[in-house]
Structure 1
């Protein structure tokens, strides 16, 4: 078996494992077949039949199958003991007589092994005869013992043979495992060889690429080398020049060293002074640091205080804006005409014959001191310091008995502006109204008051930016809001017109011809709620600066004249109208609003304007001129009276229901019909003179304004333009 192991190892690695297994089993069976397996004869007398050679059993071929299920060999079958006693033919046990020549018959006995499965056949003697001698029992026991010993030795030999077979089979299995491992190693070696060949091809390609790259690099290095050669030649030339410069500098250095040696003593002196100055500087730095720390702490406190002040101011502004918004909402729900009251300050020219004129040329003394100005002022007070809505005028009169009687007149409006109020503060209160026309509302703001109370200044203002009136500020607000709304898809077209109503006649202040050449009629459109004036000049406005130039033109054409109240009194009602139409292409919305800014003529009585000697030529020296002023004053008073009648009728309409409103009694009320009929937001700015001489007229204006403030005209409605 050992001689055949090299032959198995050298066999083809591709041979199947099952064929190798069958081959090993066949060789083992051949070895067992050629090994002699003989059992000694059993018995003392008689011929002994030689045992037959052991034949291979079928169980040997299935050794691998049985060994796979279990490695423990089957136990040997226990041999049966020979039957020492035989029955006679008559069924009687034999006696102890000496036996005759016994008939010894060979009886085969089968033994089955557990490990190899071979079958052993032995011959045993059978003693036949009627009886058996007692002397023969001892010899049978001896033979049985010998037979048992041989049988044990045979079983031992079989067990050794089975162990040797198992070791050989284990070697065969190990050889098969080695063969499979070598097969897998061979396949792996082939795969490795293929991958190595592929890597070799890739490496050869990379080498070729590296050779090309190396050739390019060599070429680049040669070019760089040529450049460096040129640079080297340039550097050598520079070096020669530098050496010559160095020689010159060495001479300069030697001279400088001599100079330094002379200045060393001075340097020592300066070092001493510098040390003392550094000491002083250190002390000063310490003081500066202390001051800087204090300053930093102060700045931190100041910044925190400023932030707190800013927060409080922002909260106050937000609260004020919210209050104004709620107030406007309440006013819109109530439907009242809002009324603001403004008292102008005392002017230096108030002591002249024309108290509020722009320049009378009189030689009368002008009050310059505070005492002189206070002596001219009426007794006015403003007790509401928080909301600024109240004004109190104290007047004195004589009773029938000659005693002086002092009366306090309290008036309350939506807002009261003191003499110190600026144009910006006034416009801040009405800026939301100016913006409402962008939203599609009709807005009317008119200034009311006696001559010289500051109506024209409130509406038109002065020449500089700080004194601009409500008209230019409102126009700037409208343009600014329209520009901001462009980002939301709104496009606006803005147009303006400026006219005056003089002696119940409409004059175009923006026209180029003379007055009274064209007849202008007022047309109302009940569907859209808009008002148009025929043959009036309507200018397309592109910027606020264009409006200022139009105001200058209108002021030069407006009718003014001198009265006892004012050297240049406005003898007509001026109406500036701003029409705004907007469309939103993204949402499909459209709106059309109108802003009317009205500067009414003076509201004083005739005897106050021209004196009690009117008609005798005592005022301003001319009878014809006096008749014209009288006609103007009567026309003004008629239109203002018609305005009062319209407001009174509106109040009665709200109380009693349907009532006729006399809009057609004057051109002013008919022009402002849509602004007073409840479809618009209306604001009246009452202007008062602070002078004591005008207290009576001021009380009359205040009572009229109170009546207007208590009038309900309805809720404003947004005007939308039909497509």
Structure 2
């Protein structure tokens, strides 16, 4: 063990062993102490017992640890001279510690007496007796010599015993000296084990590091290979770039010459830019002035537009005759049958399209032929070949008034099968779209155009049905007749309680709402129409606009009404069905109430205190603001071209004439200022 390590061990760590030493030689001889074997210092040889060669000395005469006296051996007796005895054998001397060995009994050959003659026997025994006598004498001499040797051996054994006691005493002292060395050796072993564990741990760590380094080396080699490939491609690209650089240098020389030319031209245009900037500032100021003028012109346009509408009349009547359908002549293609089915309707006013004339030929009671002619004049008459676009062009100005803050009401009237629903709702194609979708599209278009003038609009829609004098919400989710709806008139606007009002953000949303509402509308088949509308439908589009520049706020509403078909009980066949009978009676009642309201409005101009019977019907009460002068109203009269429907057409024309001659006053604009 290194000197530094042994010197660093504290005295407290050394093992202190208490040895009980018995000084009795006999006790030590019978119970020798046992010590662990110790390898000889400096050798790699196997260990030997501590007692061996413990008293050996080195060349200088000093004792050396691990070497003692040779083990004690039993002294051998000296070899006796002469031949070995034949009759007496000596027992071998055994160590006291070994168990006694069994010795086979020895037999001494003795003469056996046989009955012989005495003289012969004695003569034969004499030589034998003499030889035995001499042998016994010799054995006695040998025994004396052996006893002498035993005495010498015992003396030598005593000497050896004393030497053994001395050696054991020395051994005990050596053991006392060996205890600290043993502790140091144990500590050295522990230190060596720790060092070995640390070395093994360090070796494993180095193996892991070596593995990581190998992985990094593999990755580095792959990266190096990629970099080499990249370098090769870059060299190739560099060669190409070199050729390109030469061409670019030539181009650069050309461009520099052009740049010099452009700089010279730029110096000349600097003054022009300064002039243009001055002109731009002046143009911006002019634009601000023009924007103010545009806003003022917009206000003037609105006033003039509504003045034109007022000059045309706040209640106007348009008449439209639908074309002949294939179902009207039972599917025949005979031209004579088609002409015979048509009523005699002509349109004499080919310039303004405001007149319609109906002729009829009949026989009198005396058999004479009688010819009747009726002339009617309205604000606009549309012939059968008129398209939906042409019809909407005439009423588009009224839709424009909604965004200006006016209430507008357009309702279609006519007998069943005259084309009211087609006029208001239209067909599936873009060319056959009706007045309601077109009016909605125009309102959204106008609101989008007015955004540049500072107007922001919010739109909401409502779709109602009046069936048997009951209001149904066509946009609701529940069943009809579950809620009681009441009509409220407040400050020029009309509201219906417990109805769904949808916020509208696009024309497509309005179209989907109209389709959903039409699927819930009440229709039935009659003799005059397979899908006759048995109720009045009212679509209301409310518009609220705010001008962020002027703070002006306007509220407008567009009411688009599709009235149920007016028909006689005999012609429609409704009298045979109680439900159809009830529906027809309520439809005719509401249309009659509408005629009474219009008649009362006509008489009111003469008598200011004339009562207007709005409450006689849910239809007239709902349209009270549209018929009382707070709205611009348009009645769309739809006529059938068939001769079979002539009487119904005449009734509708007379009713429309009465409406056209009614004066309901001047519409009021729903505008206020927030400033």
TM-score, structure 2 as length reference: 0.54
1:547 positional shift: 1.1
Distance 2:571 2:517 in 1: 28
Do the aligned residues in 2 keep the contact of 1:458 with 1:469 (CA within 8 Å)?
yes
* SS of 1:493 mapped into structure 2: strand
How far apart in 1 are the matches of 2:334 and 2:381?
A: 27
Q: Which residue of 2 aligns with 1:714?
A: 665
Distance in 2 between residues matched to 1:400 and 1:500, nearest whole Å:
47
Structure-2 residue corresponding to 1:652: 603
2-structure distance, mates of 1:404, 1:326: 53
- Aligned mates of 1:373, 1:590 — CA distance in 2: 55
Query: Which of 427, 432, 443 is the aligned partner of 1:462?
Result: 427
Structure 1: runs of 5+ lacking an equivalent: 1-229, 236-324, 353-365, 616-625
Cα–Cα, structure 1 residues 722 and 562, in superposed 2: closer, same or farther, change >3 Å?
Answer: farther
Partner deviation per Cα, 1:281-306 (whole Å, 9 max, x = no partner): xxxxxxxxxxxxxxxxxxxxxxxxxx
Report the 3-state secondary structure (helix = DSSP H, G, I; strand = E; otherwise coil) of the residue aligned with 1:437.
Answer: helix
> In structure 1, which of residues 563, 566, 574 is the aligned counterpart of residue 529 of structure 2?
566
- Partners of 2:312 and 2:377 in 1: CA distance: 17
Contact 2:314 2:667 in 1 (8 A): no
* Cα deviation code 1:90-111 (max 9, x no counterpart): xxxxxxxxxxxxxxxxxxxxxx
In structure 2, the residue matched to 1:602 is 565
The answer to whether residue 556 in structure 2 is matched with residue 593 in structure 1 is yes
Separation of aligned partners in 2, 1:367 and 1:692? 17
Question: Are 2:555 and 2:670, in contact at CA under 8 Å, matched by a contact in 1?
Answer: yes
Correspondence for 1:346: 324
* 2:635 aligned with 1:684: yes
1:508 aligns with 2:459: no
* Number of residue-to-residue matches in the alignment: 377
**Partner of 1:426 in structure 2?**
391
Question: Which segments of 5 or more consecutive residues in structure 2 lack a partner in the other structure?
Answer: 1-237, 244-302
Displacement of 1:330 in angstroms is 5.8
**Other structure's SS at 1:656 match:** coil
SS in 1 for 2:351: coil
- In structure 1, C-alpha distance between the alignment counterparts of 2:361 and 2:602, rounded to whole Å: 32
Shift of 1:326: 9.1
Deviations 1:251-293 (A, max 9, x none): xxxxxxxxxxxxxxxxxxxxxxxxxxxxxxxxxxxxxxxxxxx
Q: Deviations over 1:154-207 (max 9, x none)?
A: xxxxxxxxxxxxxxxxxxxxxxxxxxxxxxxxxxxxxxxxxxxxxxxxxxxxxx
Residues 516-665 of structure 1 mapped to structure 2, 5 A cutoff: 516-525=481-490, 528-610=491-573, 614-615=575-576, 626-665=577-616
* Residue number in structure 2 paired with 1:375: 340
Cα offset, 1:573, TM superposition: 0.1
Post-superposition Cα deviations, 1:405-459, rounded to whole Å, max 9, x if no partner, equal 1111000000000000000000000000011000000000000000000000000
Task: Say if 2:539 and 2:559, in contact at 8 Å, map to a contact too.
Answer: yes
The 5 Å alignment of 1:179-194 reads: none
Deviations 1:666-707 (A, max 9, x none): 000000000000011000000000011101110110010000
TM-score by length of 1: 0.51
- Superposed CA deviations along residues 475-514 of structure 1, whole A, max 9, x for unmatched, are 0000000000000000000000111000000001111111
**Aligned residue for 1:449?**
414
How far 1:372 sits from its partner (Å)?
A: 3.0
Structure 2 Cα separation of the partners of residues 713 and 508 of structure 1: 29
The question of whether the paired residues in 2 share the 8 Å contact of 1:331 and 1:338 is answered with: no
Aligned equivalents of 1:326 and 1:531: distance in 2? 27
Distance 1:589 1:328, change over 3 A: closer
Cα pair distance change 1:487/1:686, threshold 3 Å: same
Alpha-carbon distance in 2 for matches of 1:327, 1:600: 28
